[in-house]
A and B are shown apart, each in its own frame.
Chain A
Amino acid sequence: MRTEPRAVALISGGLDSMLAARVVREQGVHVEGLNFYTGFCVEGHTHAVRRQDRERPKRNNALWVAEQLGIKLHIIDVVEEYKDVVINPRHGYGQFMNPCLDCKGFMVGKAREWMAANDFDFIITGEVIGQRPKSQLKRNMPVVASESGAHDRLLRPLCARLLEPTLPEREGWVDREQLYDWSGRSRKPQMHLAEQFGLEDYAQPAGGCCFLTDPSYSRKLQDLWQARGERRYELDDIMLLKMGRHLRPRPHFKLIVSREDGENRFMHGYRKRFTHLVPTSHGGPLALLDGEAAEDDLELAARLVARFSQGRDADRVRVAVTEREGTPREMEVTPMAAADVPQEWYVG
């Protein structure tokens, strides 16, 4: 019989969940981390594809946190199951396309399943009351606990003293007096505690933990659903929303135009699945065409791609057009003038 209590901590890669896990580990509890991969995560190297992002450390923040804390981290692929959270959130969206309250319930629910399957005792999250609008309101704390099925096995060490005592506190697995009573948007207590623990160089995501809190990304996702006439996505779709300029010149197709080398290379991997265009007479970007395009659509697409090439001021630019699974053919087109590209074609 083991006597040491065991807790599973949701690790996002940010500071709050890192501190929450650390606080409980300090009390002699065995802690392991769970990180959920939804496809929308800001984590990962897709984000570092662009040169401007390359300065940032190339690391998976959740793994980095686990290493700092000295705990194991299990990364769980929830891409398929998470679709329902994004497409049909019971509690609706936050400011953008972020279904935070449903998302939390979902993740804690997955952690509860993992806890049961692996003989752990309770779940830790880094929630702080009032830190974010809506999902971290005090009245929504019980919503996550009950909808996830975790009930009183869900401990929020950073605001526990503002909430009813949970099972780990009542059982004495953790000392409630050594937990926190944080609320509000200030980040000072977190930074102070991080300093006490000697934690440095942690990630500080600006908006939320995922792309669904990004306004431009959210508009691209809505555009995708509108164009398809249904709320549906595949992993490739949402990865490509992180990449390139998106222009929708016609309702039935859009172009994803790479902005620089890194994106070019990344999008290269998608060539076989999309009709794609690349200038041949001049240097220029790779563009993927998402949707259906007739001959005149292809010509319009080629003129747009030429507009983003080094031949934008030339009379004619040759563009190689390869339809899905086809062989490349060349089109010679007049680059579109910047002023002729309506602003509403830009998505995002």
Chain B
Amino acid sequence: MSAEPLQVDARGLLCPMPVIRLQDAVAGLAEGACVQLLATDPGVHADIPAWCRVHGHQVEAVTDDHDPDGIIRLRIRVGGSGIAEQ
């Protein structure tokens, strides 16, 4: 498995832009790769896991500073298939 996660910076963007940024980044990655997403819109708490479930990726960790200027970090492991293939 790759050691260094790919960083995707979606700070200051409103949903669904963070989802779109993650989607574009994941498109070029192989199964098992890791992505670290930085965001500020609390909407990512719902949307990123939903998008990952649909596409078969795993959200491995979430940290949230819980303040208005705080950063939310999500670590995503790229999966092999989404629910469509299951």
Contacts and interface: CB of A to CB of B under 8 A. Distances in A.
> Is B a genuine binding partner of A?
yes
Contacts of A44: 14-16, 43
Interface size range on A against B: 20 to 34
Interface stretch (B30-38, B46-54, B58-66): B46-54
A67 B49 CA distance: 11
Nearest to A70: B83
Contacts of B42: 45
B41 to A, nearest CB: 6
A154 to B, nearest CB: 22
Contacts of B54: 63, 66-67, 71-73
B50 A60 contact: yes
Q: Which of A35, A67, A72 has its CB near the most chain B CB atoms (within 10 A)?
A: A72
A46 B20 contact: no
B41 A37 contact: no
B28 interface: no
Contact of B12 (A43, A63, A269): A269
A75 B47 CA distance: 12
Contacts of A268: 68
A316 interface: no
Contacts of A314: none
Contact of A43 (B16, B51, B53, B84): B16
B78 interface: no
Interface string A17-57: 00000000000001010010100000111101000000000
B83 A67 contact: yes
B57 to A, nearest CB: 11
A34 to B, nearest CB: 12
Contact of B43 (A58, A64, A67): A58
A289 B55 CA distance: 42
Given A60-B19, A67-B53, A70-B84, A239 B46 contact: no
B68 to A, nearest CB: 5
A4 to B, nearest CB: 12
Contacts of B7: none
A175 interface: no
A239 B43 CA distance: 15
Interface string A51-88: 00000001110011011001111111100000000000
Instruction: Give the interface SS of chain A, mostly helix, strand, loop or mixed.
Output: mixed
The 4 closest A-B pairs by CB, nearest first: A45-B43, A63-B50, A72-B82, A72-B84
B17 interface: yes
Contacts of B17: 37, 77
A265 interface: yes
Contacts of A30: 84
Given A58-B46, A75-B20, A239 B14 contact: yes
29 contacts: A37-B17, A44-B14, A44-B16, A45-B14, A45-B15, A45-B46, A46-B14, A46-B15, A58-B43, A60-B43, A60-B46, A60-B47, A63-B47, A63-B51, A64-B50, A67-B53, A67-B54, A67-B83, A70-B83, A70-B86, A72-B84, A73-B51, A74-B23, A75-B19, A75-B20, A77-B17, A77-B20, A265-B68, A269-B12
A74 B51 CA distance: 9
B31 to A, nearest CB: 15
Contacts of B12: 269
Contacts of A70: 83-84, 86
Contacts of A269: 12, 40
A183 to B, nearest CB: 31
Nearest to A41: B16
Nearest to B22: A75
Q: Which of A32, A58, A75, A239 has its CB near the most chain B CB atoms (within 10 A)?
A: A75
A237 B42 CA distance: 21
B84 A71 contact: yes
A59 B49 CA distance: 11
B23 to A, nearest CB: 6
